[in-house]
Amino acid sequence: MTSLIESYEQQYSVLTAEITAEIGKFKVSKPEDRRKSIPLIEKCFEDANDLLEQLELEIRGTSQSHLINRLACYRAELSRIKNEFQTARQNAPGDSSGYGEIEEYYEEWNVAQEQKAKLLQNSDRIEKTGKKLTEGYRVLLESEQLGAAVLNDLNSQRETIQRSRNRLRETDEHLSRSSRIMNSMIMRTMQQKFILIVFSIIFIIIISVAIYLSIK
């Protein structure tokens, strides 16, 4: 990109030098020669302006402020040379008949330049808007991916909670079953103790009766 910018600058320098030389010739030439040189000088102005527009497009892609300042100097220089040419045409002896055409041409030329500047500004706005849309779309995609990741994480947590709940339910069932078994074992133990106590009491009564009868 730097070599292309330098190439545009060199071409612009050559054009402005050519325009300055032609204006110098224009000032001292005869009326018929001046009329012949006008289209050539006008074409050089158009080429110089096109070069500055190409240079602006290249510089716009960089962040170097000194290039932007140089471009502003080039535009100021070209404007000064145009004013010099206008003055030379207005002051040229024996050429007052084309003054109205000169004014009309430069008015049209200025309008065309304003339109080009507006088009460049609109192009710049469209480019910035496109970048903003691209950035917004990227953020939207990132948000969508983040949302999908969060949903997957929540789904995984829900499945984990569901499994934990099932395990708790199974544990509760096991505890209930164990509690019933323990209660059943306790009841059986109490029954066995009760039966043992009853048999012990009966056995004691029988022994006591036998002892009593034997003594009597």
Q: What are the residue ranges spanned by the domains of the chain?
A: 2-94
pLDDT given at position 201: 92
Cβ–Cβ under 8 Å, residues 34 and 26: yes
- Could you tell me what percent of the chain has a pLDDT over 70? 82
Radius of gyration of the chain from Cα atoms?
A: 53
pLDDT band at residue 202, thresholds of 50, 70 and 90? very high
pLDDT band at residue 123, thresholds of 50, 70 and 90? low
Cβ–Cβ under 8 Å, residues 48 and 16: yes
**What is the distance between the alpha carbons of residues 58 and 74, in angstroms, rounded to a whole number?**
15
For the segment 9-44, what is each residue's pLDDT rounded down to a tens digit? 888 888 889 889 888 888 888 888 888 888 888 998
pLDDT given at position 96: 45
Judged against a pLDDT cut of 70, whether residue 116 lies above it is answered with no
**What is the distance between the alpha carbons of residues 38 and 48, in angstroms, rounded to a whole number?**
15
Q: Which fold has domain 2-94?
A: Methane Monooxygenase Hydroxylase; Chain G, domain 1 (1.20.58)
Cα first-last separation, the chain:
139
pLDDT band at residue 153, thresholds of 50, 70 and 90? confident
Judged against a pLDDT cut of 50, whether residue 103 lies above it is answered with yes
Task: Provide the whole-model pTM.
Answer: 0.42
What is the DSSP code string of the chain?
-HHHHHHHHHHHHHHHHHHHHHHHHHHHS-HHHHHHHHHHHHHHHHHHHHHHHHHHHHHHTS--HHHHHHHHHHHHHHHHHHHHHHHHHHH-TT-GGGHHHHHHHHHHHHHHHHHHHHHHHHHHHHHHHHHHHHHHHHHHHHHHHHHHHHHHHHHHHHHHHHHHHHHHHHHHHHHHHHHHHHHHHHHHHHHHHHHHHHHHHHHHHHHHHHHHHHH-
pLDDT given at position 1: 55
**What is the distance between the alpha carbons of residues 8 and 58, in angstroms, rounded to a whole number?**
10
pLDDT, average across residues 156-175: 87
